[in-house]
Amino acid sequence: MIKVCIADNYPVVHFGVKSYFKDNADISIAANVGNFLMVRDILQTKDIDVLVLDLELEGLSSIFEVKALLKSFPKTKIIIYSGLSEQIYAPNAIKAGVSGFVHKSEKLETLGISIIKVYQGKIIMNETVKKNLALIAKQSKSERLYRKLSNREVEVLRYLSGGKKNHEIAEILNLNEKTISTYKLRLLTKLNVTNLVDLVDKAKKLEIV
């Protein structure tokens, strides 16, 4: 039996997923948590095979925290289960070490299949994401600079688009405010815009927000 922990902000998601898998012969929902601080506690006290994690989970501010979690609990596989754009967030999540990305628009049957596959050691992503990752791997460092946003740049852009100020983002990500300003400048350059309004507009078009 594959023991699964669901980490999501919304009770309706916990109820729906648990109800769907209650009679499943292969998958058992062993834990439900509503914020990121509880995730580490659960992984320390229970043998969880697969963590199903929403990137927008309360208390989770960075993909680097997910990377650290994987390092601390290497036996636990992580599936990102999110409503965020798969094309934007899946490549960075896979590079951080997660085993799969399932969009919340997918059927729960797809989530179930993904849980079984990652438990077996497979990596789950759609064909478009695979092609994007393959393309990025072939690019030189200078090409990536303009064609691909880093994990941290995506995070900063997401917070900027949400109306956060530089000092607020610095506090959330535990970085220097000057560092946030540098990321903002890089984003303006990479996305070929000159002001915050256009930057936010570009972020919306890229489905980062």
Residue 153 scores a pLDDT above 50: yes
CATH number listed for the domain at residues 151-206: 1.10.10.10
Same fold, 2-136 and 151-206: no
Share of residues in the chain with pLDDT > 90 (%): 60
Which DSSP helix (H) or strand (E) runs through 2?
Answer: strand 2-7
Burial readout 1-27 (b: 16 or more C-beta within 10 A, e: otherwise): ebbbbbbbeeeebbeebeebbeeeeeb
C-alpha–C-alpha distance, residues 123 and 160, integer Å: 31
Q: What is the mean pLDDT of the chain?
A: 87
Report yes or no: 208 and 156 within 8 Å, Cβ to Cβ.
no
Give 142's pLDDT tier (boundaries 50, 70, 90). very low
SS3 of 142, please? helix
Alpha carbons within 13 angstroms on the beta-carbon side of residue 77 total 21
How is the chain split into domains, by residue range?
2-136, 151-206
Angle between helices 151-161 and 86-96 (to 10 degrees): 140
In the CATH hierarchy, which fold is given to the domain comprising 2-136?
Answer: Rossmann fold (3.40.50)
The pTM for the full model equals: 0.72
**For residue 93, what are its two tokens?**
């999540």
pLDDT at 32: 97
**For residue 151, what are its two tokens?**
């994990």
Report the first-to-last Cα separation within the chain, whole angstroms.
36
* Residue entry with tokens 């292969």: 26
Q: Could you report the per-residue pLDDT of 51-82, keeping only the tens digit for each?
A: 999 999 999 988 889 999 999 999 999 999 99
Report yes or no: 79 and 53 within 8 Å, Cβ to Cβ.
yes
